[in-house]
Chain A
Amino acid sequence: GAVVSQHPSRVICKSGTSVKIECRSLDFQATTMFWYRQFPKKSLMLMATSNEGSKATYEQGVEKDKFLINHASLTLSTLTVTSAHPEDSSFYICSARDKERKQFFGPGTRLTVL
């Protein structure tokens, strides 16, 4: 089946720094990728929809200037958490949609902001 990778799997950073998370579709092209955030013991919250070559569409309440999304190619989308604060600590999961509109999820990235 289709594989989606995320890098890094875990990251710890200091408050005020920026962190970049990569999401790659390894064996298919993904015109659309989705970024989710999962709080402890909670469901997945869709943050934004990323379309290759265009600006991301953010969900209500998600700060686009804080969570920068770039979808520069058909196999790569990045999420940059700018000026991270402890409340940004979370599990971030991406998914990539293939041409048949099937979504495949990455393994997630655990972000801890000290």
Chain B
Amino acid sequence: AQSVTQLGSHVSVSEGALVLLRCNYSSSVPPYLFWYVQYPNQGLQLLLKYTTGATLVKGINGFEAEFKKSETSFHLTKPSAHMSDAAEYFCAVIPSNFGNEKLTFGTGTRLTIIP
């Protein structure tokens, strides 16, 4: 079984400031990890994913995340926030052996950008 915990249901940062959204996971087998973004009344868009290889993954819109096995974390960062980054962000996990084919989502973090 796997689970995802996103610390902080709401995060506010000033425009131009660092964005840090936290995600911790648990998985009985090595995980594949994902970050999705959701804009109001829209579906989910994949930001980035980690499967194998390099633990620092870069995604769209300047976001990146680092897989840290020792900390069971996959935090999402962006060096400089833009107003357009305001959205809901979801971290998700699926076991790499696909024994359970279902994506498990965290509860989401709403990112607000302060002008």
Contacts and interface: CB of A to CB of B under 8 A. Distances in A.
A46 B90 CA distance: 14
B44 interface: yes
A59 B44 CA distance: 21
Nearest to A59: B102
Contacts of B35: none
A103 interface: yes
Contact of A110 (B36, B41, B44): B41
Interface in A71-114: 91, 93, 95, 97, 101, 103-108, 110
Given A105-B43, A106-B43, A110-B41, A42 B107 contact: yes
Interface size class of B (residues with CB under 8 A): 10 to 19
Given A43-B108, A44-B90, A93 B44 contact: yes
A43 B106 contact: yes
B38 to A, nearest CB: 9
A46 to B, nearest CB: 6
A67 interface: no
A108 B42 contact: yes
B45 interface: yes
Contacts of A32: 101
Nearest 7 A-B pairs (CB), nearest first? Answer: A105-B44, A107-B43, A105-B43, A43-B107, A108-B43, A43-B105, A44-B105
Interface of A: 4, 6, 32, 34, 41-44, 46, 49, 91, 93, 95, 97, 101, 103-108, 110
Given A42-B108, A43-B90, A108-B43, 20 more contacts: A4-B43, A6-B43, A32-B101, A34-B103, A42-B107, A43-B105, A43-B107, A43-B108, A44-B90, A44-B105, A49-B101, A95-B103, A97-B101, A105-B44, A106-B43, A107-B42, A107-B43, A108-B41, A108-B42, A110-B41
